[in-house]
């Protein structure tokens, strides 16, 4: 049987595949394993080229778009519409004011700056992201992979730095390199103690426990004055701001948010002396920041 006529042809990566993709042989092995596993678990098996193309696209929806298209081209398949995002990740009825939804890769603990902000990355295979990746970013990724294949690591590192400057980063997830876009996140409606304040480190640690190493869903409402994306954070079906407020790890930021439940959750934590409210007279972070701007002079 010709190796292009079916995706179920054995356990070895076809030799000709590398002419259509830029990723490493190790990555190709993992792709092929995923494809074969998907084929075995599909009942009935795909009977038409269109069905087979959809199976491949679904099994490999996490790899770079250019490589996915290369695989489909190798097998002679037409490029199908990429699988739509799960409705659990994109609720049909979003709260008023939500501009878009981010489905992030697992959040690195080191990227959690304090109790109300962190840096997240979204894979460019995400349907929303794939449509807005600049052409020059795609070109840099291809050039970097080519440089690595010829062992020109100095050029590859230089291209990696250029990607970082453009707001993108190549991350390794499950032994696979993924191109992802960087987002600086500010959690909407709460204000946590700064790291140098009393309870600052404890607040950050609480957020690490909630989202560290996990994927998050972010409802984005807009940008703040520091170019951070302001949003509501969900992880493991938990509303993260609610947990931070109920456990006394943050203050309700009523200057920028008018949700009554936020005020209620803070009152509950205060009444139960949870978190920062065990302190005799906890300082509000907005007062602390204002005092820092005034050269340490207390706020009246």
**Catalytic residue annotation:** 186, 194, 228
Which one-letter DSSP state was computed for residue 216? -
Q: How far apart are the first and last CA of the chain?
A: 82
CA 256, chain centre distance (Å): 25
The size of the chain, in residues, is 300
Which one-letter DSSP state was computed for residue 97? T
Longest dimension (CA), the chain: 82
Q: Report yes or no: 57 and 117 within 8 Å, Cβ to Cβ.
A: no
User: What whole-number distance in Å separates Cα of residue 205 and Cα of residue 245?
Assistant: 14
User: What whole-number distance in Å separates Cα of residue 126 and Cα of residue 2?
Assistant: 33
CA quadruple 7, 9, 11, 13: dihedral sign = negative
DSSP 122-137: EETTSHHHHTT--HHH
User: What whole-number distance in Å separates Cα of residue 115 and Cα of residue 243?
Assistant: 11
Please give the C-alpha separations between residue 143 and each of 69, 78, 151, in angstroms, as whole numbers: 17, 26, 12
DSSP reduced 3-state for 25: helix
DSSP reduced 3-state for 233: strand
């Amino acid at each position: 049987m010709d190796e292009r006529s079916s995706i179920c042809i054995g356990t070895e990566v076809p030799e000709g595949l590398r002419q259509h993709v830029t990723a490493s042989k190790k990555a190709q092995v993992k792709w092929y394993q995923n494809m074969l596993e998907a084929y075995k678990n599909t009942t009935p098996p795909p009977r038409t080229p269109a069905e087979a193309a959809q199976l491949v696209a679904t099994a490999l929806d996490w790899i770079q778009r250019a490589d996915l298209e290369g695989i489909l081209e190798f097998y002679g398949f037409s490029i199908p519409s990429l699988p739509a995002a799960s409705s659990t990740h994109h609720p049909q009825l979003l709260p008023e004011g939500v501009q878009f939804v981010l489905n992030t890769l697992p959040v690195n603990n080191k990227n959690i700056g304090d109790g109300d902000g962190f840096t997240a990355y979204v894979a460019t295979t995400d349907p929303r992201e794939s449509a807005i990746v600049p052409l020059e970013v795609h070109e840099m990724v291809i050039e970097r992979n080519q440089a690595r294949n010829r062992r020109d690591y100095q050029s590859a590192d230089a291209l990696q730095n250029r990607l970082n400057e453009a707001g993108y980063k190549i991350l390794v997830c499950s032994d696979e390199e993924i191109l992802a876009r960087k987002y600086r996140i500010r959690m909407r409606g709460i204000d946590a103690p700064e790291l140098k304040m009393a309870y600052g480190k404890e607040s950050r640690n609480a957020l690490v426990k909630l989202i560290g190493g996990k994927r998050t869903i972010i409802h984005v409402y807009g940008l703040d004055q520091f170019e951070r994306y302001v949003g509501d954070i969900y992880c493991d079906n938990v509303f993260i701001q609610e947990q931070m407020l109920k456990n006394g790890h943050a203050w309700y930021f009523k200057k920028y948010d008018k949700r009554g439940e936020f005020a209620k959750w803070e009152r509950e934590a205060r009444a139960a002396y949870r978190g920062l409210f065990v302190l005799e007279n906890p300082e509000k972070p907005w007062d602390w920041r204002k005092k820092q701007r005034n050269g340490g002079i207390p706020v009246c």
